[in-house]
Amino acid sequence: MPTVLVFPGQGSQKVGMGGAWAAESPAAARTLEEADEVLGEPLSRLIREGPEEDLTLTANTQPAILAVSVAIHRALAERGVDLAPVAVAGHSLGEYSALVAAGALDFATALALVRRRGELMQRAVPPGQGAMAAILGLDREAVSALVADAAAAGDGVVSVANDNSPGQTVIAGDAAAVGRAVALATERGARRATLLPVSAPFHSPLMAPAREGMTPHLAAAEVRDAAVPVVVNVDARAVTRGDELRDALVRQIDSPVRWVESIELAARDFAADTFVEIGPGSVLSGLIRRIVPGVRTVSLGEPAGLEKLALDEPGRV
């Protein structure tokens, strides 16, 4: 069965994530300890115990989700679970986890990069100046039209940030412009249009300072050719060359996450009929089922997910 591994991004975090894997897998436990050593701080304790308000700080959330995702991936290898992916993909931050899984980035390098990425993204826009909102029940074209109208009103920048699934689009930009877009969405028949509890307008042009700040760090990092194709967010295309993967990581910071197109490409070009979510939560699995109805999805945020994988594909596990 052609399988694609997908890795979640910011928003999937919760206190205690990955704990069941660390309790039963030495490889997972060692991965979290390695994260502490690389960052020089007890990230694993924050993941395990919180407090939640500290875990949700962007500079902490990003390395924490990466560490848990890699820990689960290593635990699977330790148990002899050979998923043999035809491709990998990650949602925003999750692209770093995907590159580690594909052998393009070392775990330690990825940790240092996402810590800096989180810091730069947090600092790019002063608190309260930016915002993000989820628009439900309108198609991508309708959302693109309403953000164009909102931006034209002169309240600042607003644009599509995440094209998550049919009928679910996230927008980002200056707070006033996002507020105007939310009002327009409601007027134009959105099922729901609501501001998100985030600290910055991610994946919008306002993240340009973060992109500029990350560029030298990514230029200095070793990004190898990937062992399997990586479907990158910014272009929704499959990439293996290290230089192209590096460029995609730079550009994704202030560009939309083209998740719908990425999953459609994986299902079409790689004939993928199984998507395995590796990391905390199961958000991506729900999105994928809406993008490509009928595909098999398995979430491995908890070890119990292996039972579904075994039932779906006897002999694989």
pLDDT of residue 314: 40
Residue 317 counted as domain residue: no
Catalytic, out of 92, 262, 282, 285:
92
CA angle 43, 257, 264 (to 5 degrees): 115
pLDDT value at residue 111: 98
d(CA 21, CA 292) in angstroms, rounded, equals: 29
The verdict on 81 and 216 lying in the same domain is yes
Average pLDDT rounded to a whole number, residues 124-132: 93
Residue 15: inside a domain? yes
Last-in-domain residue among 145, 177, 198? 198
| pTM recorded for the entire structure | 0.95
Question: End of a domain among 198, 216, 232?
Answer: 198
In this structure, are 297 and 182 located in the same domain? no
Residue 80, judged by CB atoms within 10 A of its CB (0-12, 13-18, 19+), counts as exposed
Residue 257 located in a structural domain: yes
Residue of 97, 203, 204, 299 marked catalytic: 203
Mean pLDDT of 261-285: 97
Domain coverage including residue 47: 3-124+206-312
For 33-55, the pLDDT digits (tens) are 999 999 999 999 999 999 999 99
Q: Per the structure block, which two tokens stand in for 37?
A: 């050593």
Q: How many domains does one find in the chain?
A: 2
Catalytic: 92?
Answer: yes
Q: Tokens 């190898």 — which residue?
A: 224
For 175-216, list the strands marked E by DSSP. Answer: 192-195
Confidence of residue 316 (pLDDT cuts 50, 70, 90): very low
203: annotated active-site residue: yes
pLDDT tens profile 73-96: 999 999 999 899 999 999 999 999
For the cut 60, the answer to whether the pLDDT of residue 117 exceeds it is yes
Statement: residue 311 has pLDDT above 80: no
What is the predicted pLDDT for the residue at 197? Answer: 84
Where residue 178 sits, what CATH number does that domain have?
3.30.70.250
Tell whether 217 and 150 lie within a shared domain.
no
Does 58 have pLDDT greater than 50? yes
pLDDT, averaged across the chain:
95
- Looking at the fold, whether 109 and 185 belong to one and the same domain comes out as no
> What does the pLDDT read at residue 199?
79
